[in-house]
Amino acid sequence: MAAAAAPAPSPPAAVSAAATGTTFAVILSLSFCHLLNDMMQSLVPALYPILKDSYALSFGQIGLITLAFQCTASMLQPVVGIYTDRKPQPYSLVVGMGFTLVGLLLMSQASSYPLILLAAALIGMGSSVFHPEASRVARMAAGGRYGLAQSLFQVGGNMGSAAGPLLAAFIVVPYGQRSIVWFSAAALIAMAVLFQIGGWYGRRRTASNAPVRAKGSVVDAAISTLSRRRVGVAVAVLVALLFSKNVYSASLGSYFTFYLIGKFGVEIETAQLYLFAFLVGIVAGTIGGGIVGDRMGRIPVMWFSIVGALPFALMLPYANLFWTGVLAVMVAAIMASAFSAILVYAQELLPGRVGLVAGMFFGFSFGLGGLGAAALGQLADLTSIETVYKATPFLLLLGLLTAFLPRQPSRPGM
């Protein structure tokens, strides 16, 4: 049964994004706000040791804080995406950052366990509102360079996730729970920037007079001609690719320092430098993947990103210290190139559902990484960290499922 495929509307009924040019000021502003958002999100786990000691919490109660945070941050994103696809909200980004601000203020002053849970949930809600709509605006500002736009947006989040633990180590750990209030300044800065972006978003929608479907979603320039079954299979393949990428990335990001210390006996400071190099590789790969994807197509980038990293990942557990660092950076850069390709490909499969796709894939990205890190931690407890690094590369074989992704005739190399 074929999905309805209407012809693309002709100008001036719809304005082609490519015709208006890439608005880098908007994309870089979104990336900056993504940095601030993910930096604030990463403060929650940094508080765990302080909260455990201050309130005599059990590990089970710590787990419930994580559950409250991750459920609102991950599970609500597709819901927000569906709603904003039907009724775009130019200033919802400000509202989302407002949730984070309230959550941070409450977390800094919380004196009971229920209030801590509520604060964690509010911070997660801020993320669930921010990601789908920010991804939509990044696509709107892309001017046809969708991969580059999503890569630049994602890099901000990567940098924020990396900076959060460092700031927590220098501020939150020494000064305690109440020092969280200082980070509310970051939320206020982000809200000011996002208010300006909301104004641009509203003016752009008004100027383009974009037609609206019966369901209320703005018609995308790309119209899917695939059957619903093929679209469903393609989305399932993309989720599997994201699963393999994120679980392996979790093994490197979460346990790499422990691996280096345990196997090579390096100092903590040295291990942190290797971890920093790994994070730099992620940034470089994310940007490179977006640029190459726009020029060569999404599917070639996915093939290279998932399958191309496999040989280096297999060699890593058997390398000496120097080559372990080199291989880790290479794997990070190659694998990171996939995310924007996966996201943009999914948005082109489901035209007019940019928010749903962004919410679903950012949510899965967050959730799968957390679940993967927890499962790999259990495996490491039962065996060893080295065993984890020998076993997890085989997850990348799921990249072979890329062969089942359809190429749409209107976009060669997609």
Q: Tens of pLDDT along the chain (414 residues)?
A: 444 433 333 333 333 434 346 688 999 999 999 999 988 987 887 777 788 888 888 867 877 887 788 778 777 888 888 888 888 888 899 999 999 999 999 999 988 999 999 999 999 899 888 988 888 898 888 888 888 888 888 888 888 877 776 787 788 878 888 888 999 999 999 999 999 999 998 888 776 544 444 343 443 444 456 788 888 899 889 988 888 887 888 777 667 878 888 899 988 778 878 887 887 888 888 888 888 888 888 899 999 987 889 999 999 999 999 999 999 999 989 998 888 888 889 888 888 788 788 777 777 666 666 677 677 777 888 888 888 889 889 988 888 899 999 875 344 445
Q: Do 236 and 203 share a domain, yes or no?
A: no
Do 192 and 293 lie in one domain? The reply is no
pLDDT at 369: 65
- Assess whether 163 and 287 both reside in one domain: no
Would 216 be classed as within a structural domain?
no
Does 1 fall in a domain?
no
- Residue 317 domain flag: yes
Task: Write down which residue in 161, 178, 208 finishes a domain.
Answer: 208
At residue 227, the 3 state secondary structure works out as strand
Give residue 8's pLDDT.
37
pLDDT on residue 218: 41
Are residues 151 and 233 part of one domain? no
* Per-residue model confidence (pLDDT) at position 207: 64
**176 shares its domain with 247:** no
Structure-token pair, residue 230? 């093929």
Do 233 and 370 lie in one domain? The reply is yes
Q: Does one domain contain both 390 and 333?
A: yes
Listed residue (332, 324, 308) closest to 397, CA to CA = 308
Number of domains forming the structure of the chain: 2
* Claim to verify: residue 204 and residue 338 sit in the same structural domain: no
| Residue at a domain's end among 208, 236, 254 | 208
Is there a cis peptide before residue 409, judged by omega within 30 degrees of 0? no
Q: CATH code at 304?
A: 1.20.1250.20
* pLDDT of amino acid 5: 39
Tokens read off for 222: 């790309």
Q: Is residue 98 part of a domain?
A: yes
CB atoms closer than 10 angstroms to residue 375: 14
**Closest listed residue to residue 343, CA positions, set 369, 365, 368, 373:** 365
160 and 203 share a domain? yes
| Residue 2, pLDDT score | 40
> How far apart (Å, rounded) are the C-alpha atoms in residues 361 and 288?
20
Q: Read out DSSP for 319-380?
A: S-HHHHHHHHHHHHHHHHTHHHHHHHHHHHHSTT-HHHHHHHHHHHHHHHHHHHHHHHHHHH
Question: 277 with 336, same domain?
Answer: yes
**Of the candidates 380, 360, 247, 371, which has an alpha carbon nearest to the alpha carbon of residue 309?**
247
- Residue 413 lies inside a defined structural domain of this protein: no
> CA 357, CA 234: separation in Å to the nearest integer?
13
pTM of the model: 0.70
Instruction: Determine the Cα–Cα distance for residues 72 and 129; give it in Å rounded to an integer.
Output: 10
Query: Which of 392, 397, 293 is CA-nearest to residue 336?
Result: 293
- Give the model's pLDDT for residue 90: 82
pLDDT computed for residue 372 by the predictor? 73
In a domain, 345, yes or no: yes
Residue 118: both structure tokens together: 């509520």
Range of the structural domain that residue 110 is part of? 18-208
Q: Are residues 161 and 277 in the same domain?
A: no
Residues for the chain: how many in total? 414
